[in-house]
Amino acid sequence: MDISDEVRAKYTAVIGLEVHVQLLTSSKIFSSDETYFGASPNTQVSVVSLAHPGTLPKLNRRALEFAIKMGLACQSEISRFNLFDRKNYFYPDLPKGYQLTQDRTPICRGGTVPVTLKSGITRNILLNRIHLEEDAGKSIHVEGEDDTLVDFNRAGMPLIEIVTEPVIRSSEEAYVFLSEIRKLVRYLGICDGNMEEGSMRCDANVSIMLKQSDTFGKKVEIKNMNSLRNVQRAIEVEIDRQISLVEAGEEIVSETRTFDADVGVTSAMRTKEELNDYRYFPDPDLSPVVVTDAWLDEIKSGMPELPQALLQKFVSEYELPEYDARLLTESKEIAHYFLSVAEHVNNYKAASNWIMGPVKSYLNEHALTIDQFPVKAETLAELIRLIDEGKLSFSVASQQVFSTLITSKENSALSVAQQLNVIQDSDESSLLPLIEEVIANFPEKVIEYKKGKKGLKAMFIGEVMKRSKGKADPKLTDQLISKKLQEA
C-alpha cells in the first residue's frame, strides 16, 4: 500500500479515541472483591462477581471519587445526579448478561486535554464524556486447546471510559493525547497507566474525508493495541488503508478491526450491526448517587498539583526553559525530585541538567524509577553547590563523585570528594607559588607569549594543573596566570 504524500494530502483524517482506564481501588466497583493484578485465575471472585441470583451491587465510593478527579483534571463538568445503567448483551465472560455503565448521566461531561505537538503547536482535544463502568471477565484461548477458559477476576473491576469528540486529526495527536492521559492518571494516582498490562486500553475510531469536505466518512474502530506507539502505528496504517480503498473507488465499511503489531496491518474482526440495541435502562438495584457541594469540595482539596501547573511553575518560578520543564514534569516523581533538589540550590538550571542528564541516564540504564535512585535530592544539591563554589570541576563531579555516591552508602558529596581527593584548589595563596614556579621555569615561552603568541596560555595552565595534580580550579588558574604573565 504505497501512497504518495500528494495523494495523502487530499484527505483529512478524523479520529476519536475511547480510553478505558482501570482504577487503582483496592476493591471492585460494585463488590468487596479484591483487585490485585496477576492473582491466580478466579481467586478474586465472590457471588457478586459471578452474578449469582439475588446478589446486589453496591457502589465503591472511591471509584466515583477517582472518576471525579479525572474530570476535574480535564475541566469537565461533574454530574451531580448519577445513575447507573444496564447495557444488555451476551458474552461468555459477562455472567450477568449486562454490564453496569453510565449511559445518560456520565459522571463527567465535556472537558479538554491540551496536547503539544513536536511542531510546538498546542491543540485542545475536546472530551465528550468520562463515565464509570465495570469490566468484564477474560476469556482465555489456549493455543491447541478446544476449550475456552474464563477468568472472572477482572469481572467488576472499576473502569472509567474517556471518550473524545472526533477532533483528533493525526496519529501524532492521538499519541500525544494518550501520553497526556497516562501522565494525568499517574499524577492523580488513579491508575498505573500500564498499557502493556492492560490497565489502560484504547480503541481508535478512524475515518477519512476529502480536505474540502465537511461530512465525516464512515468510521472504523481499531482494537487491541497494547502500547502508545502501536496506537499511533495502527492509526497510520488504517488511514492509508482507507485512502487506498477510496482512491480505488471502493467503499469504506463500518467495522471493528484488530491491529497486528508484528505485521503492522489491521484486519476485520466484525462488522458493526446496523443498530446496536443494548436496551439501556437504569439499574433498579443501585440508587442514584448525588454528588453534594461538600463532597465535591473535599475531592477538590485532595487534588495533587497537576503536570500543567507544575510546568508553569518550573518556567516562571524556577526560570527553566520550557523544554526542561516539559521533560521534568513527564513524571510526578521526577518533578518532585527536582523540587527537592531545588530547595537546596540556587542554580535551578544546573539541577535540571543533572536530572535530565546523568540521573536519567542512570535510571534508564538500570531500568529504575527515581524512587529507587540511591542519591538523595539533598546530596545531589550538595554536589551542585560544590561545583558552583569552584570546589569541584563538572567533569570530576560527574565522572567520579556522582558514580561513587551511587555505589557507596555515603550521603555526603563533600566527604566522597575528599575521600577521592578531588577537591579543587581555589585558594589563591596555594595556587600562586605554583604559577610563579611555572613562569620561572619557562622564560622563553613567556617572551613568546609577550610577543603575541597568546595560545601559549593553555600550556601554562596545563603545567599548573600537572603540578597541582589536577586539583587547581581552572577558572581561577586562568585568571591568575593572565595576570602574572602581564606582570612578567
Where along the sequence are the contacts to ligand ADP (CB under 6 A)?
14-18, 163-166, 205-207, 216, 219
End-to-end CA gap in the chain:
77
Nearer to ligand ADP, 41 or 166 (CB): 166
Nearer to ligand ADP, 49 or 205 (CB): 205
Q: How far apart are CA 228 and CA 123, in angstroms?
A: 19
Nearer to ligand ADP, 166 or 304 (CB): 166
In whole angstroms, the minimum distance from the beta carbon of 43 to ligand ADP comes to 34
Nearer to ligand ADP, 167 or 414 (CB): 167
Nearer to ligand ADP, 18 or 34 (CB): 18
In whole angstroms, the minimum distance from the beta carbon of 218 to ligand ADP comes to 7
Nearer to ligand ADP, 182 or 219 (CB): 219
Residue 195 makes CB contacts below 8 A (sequence gap 6+) with: 182, 201, 202, 225, 226, 227, 228
Residue whose beta carbon is closest to ligand ADP: 16
In whole angstroms, the minimum distance from the beta carbon of 166 to ligand ADP comes to 4
Cell numbers placing 429: 595563596
Nearer to ligand ADP, 166 or 198 (CB): 166
The phi and psi torsions of 472 (rounded to 5 degrees) equal: -70, 135
Cell numbers placing 448: 613568546
Nearer to ligand ADP, 18 or 305 (CB): 18
From the list 486, 480, 487, the residue with the least C-alpha distance to 454 is 486
Q: List the helix and strand counts (H, then E) for the chain.
A: 18, 17
In whole angstroms, the minimum distance from the beta carbon of 29 to ligand ADP comes to 22
In whole angstroms, the minimum distance from the beta carbon of 120 to ligand ADP comes to 26
For 255-259, the CB contacts below 8 A with 24+ separation are 255/220, 255/221, 256/220, 256/221, 256/222, 256/223, 257/220, 257/221, 257/222, 257/223, 258/222, 258/223, 258/224, 259/222, 259/223, 259/224, 259/225, 259/230, 259/233, 259/234
In whole angstroms, the minimum distance from the beta carbon of 161 to ligand ADP comes to 10
Cell numbers placing 168: 483528533
In whole angstroms, the minimum distance from the beta carbon of 220 to ligand ADP comes to 8
Cα torsion 59, 65, 66, 67 to 10°: value is 80
Nearer to ligand ADP, 14 or 100 (CB): 14
Name residue 141's beta-bridge partners: 148
- In terms of residues, how long is the chain? 488
Nearer to ligand ADP, 206 or 413 (CB): 206
In whole angstroms, the minimum distance from the beta carbon of 219 to ligand ADP comes to 4
In whole angstroms, the minimum distance from the beta carbon of 217 to ligand ADP comes to 6
87, 103 contact by CB (below 8 A) = yes
Burial (0-12, 13-18, 19+ Cβ within 10 Å), 82:
buried
Q: How far apart are CA 362 and CA 354, in angstroms?
A: 11
In whole angstroms, the minimum distance from the beta carbon of 91 to ligand ADP comes to 17
Q: How many CB atoms lie within 10 A of CB 61?
A: 11
Sign of CA dihedral 392, 398, 401, 406: positive
